[in-house]
Structure 1
């Protein structure tokens, strides 16, 4: 009986030690929604995107979102102010272009709205000056990176400008 109790205690303590020394599970950086502030009275929305946030899509993402996984919806006629910072390891920018398919050469694609692009931002924490534009045409657009083949490799989210929308959403 005494040996059985000792054996049980020894096995239990070994299990605890093994549980405490097991390797931690690997995790990926979760998506971080863009910071969005909307003022319906002023018809103004401010959006902060972080390019290269985490490892999703090999760092070709905005706030961890890529390949059109998320859609920003903005009411028609609102003013949009976009800030872009770069947490990644390569340069990025942000531009809004129209179309149902990604452009073959995003730098040659016409902007959907005047001023709807940022400068290219250097890697590792740099920030572009905010850009401001009015979404004056309803429709579906791409928010994409024009650097290299970033957009073609999935660095884009979608933008819908909706006549009659009451609020800004990102989902």
Structure 2
């Protein structure tokens, strides 16, 4: 039996699928929110998306843990704010969910390589944005969508 082709096939298939940045376990959802992932939009992005071109969807009522990591070369933060028109800024007072932002001083952000975590209840169905609160970043396009859905049973990222 020739194991080399089998091993090579397994390796190639394994590299074709990146790990999902969102996981669902019962009514708990974990989102791996990564700021500055790659060079998309000059580094002003979340999970490689910018200007609302990517969307996290979570079920209504889920307890959501956001594990936030800054992989960029400058400080970043996030605020979950109301959807609609493209956001031009964000601060903690814009957060639509209690604890729906990080760090406490969103305008300062967290340093490159740093991580932080928050937990909130997705208690209101609707369309929202993850927006960077560091001055100039939202205006530069650092925001993606968050949908809290009555119909969703598991979380997703597209």
Could you state the TM-score of these two structures normalised by the residue count of structure 2?
Answer: 0.80
* 1:131 alignment partner, SS class: strand
Contact map agreement 2:21 2:157 (CA 8 A) in 1: no
Pairing 1:121–2:121 present: no
Match of 1:63 in 2: 47
Q: Write the distance in 1 (CA, Å) between the matches of 2:34 and 2:149.
A: 24
Q: 2:130 aligns with which of 137, 143, 149?
A: 143
Q: What per-residue deviation string (whole Å, max 9, x for no partner) do you get for residues 98-145 of structure 1? A: 13123443126521100001112112x1112x1000010111000110
Could you state the TM-score of these two structures normalised by the residue count of structure 1?
Answer: 0.74
Pairing 1:91–2:75 present: yes
In structure 1, list runs of 5 or more residues that go unmatched. 1-31
User: Which ranges of 4 or more aligned residues in structure 1 deviate by more than 3 Å?
Assistant: 102-105
Larger mean CA deviation between 92-101 and 132-141 belongs to: 92-101
Give the deviation of 1:154 after TM superposition: 0.8
Larger radius of gyration, structure 1 or 2?
Answer: 1
Higher RCO by CA contacts (8 Å cutoff, separation 6 or greater): 2
Give the deviation of 1:161 after TM superposition: 0.7
Q: Write the distance in 2 (CA, Å) between the matches of 1:103 and 1:94.
A: 12
Pairing 1:35–2:21 present: yes
Match of 1:82 in 2: 66
Pairing 1:110–2:94 present: yes
In structure 2, list runs of 5 or more residues that go unmatched. 1-17, 104-108
Q: Over aligned residues, Cα RMSD in angstroms?
A: 1.7
Q: Write the distance in 2 (CA, Å) between the matches of 1:33 and 1:97.
A: 26
Q: How many positions carry a matched residue from both structures? A: 136
Q: Write the distance in 2 (CA, Å) between the matches of 1:140 and 1:162.
A: 9
Question: Greater share of strand residues, 1 or 2?
Answer: 2
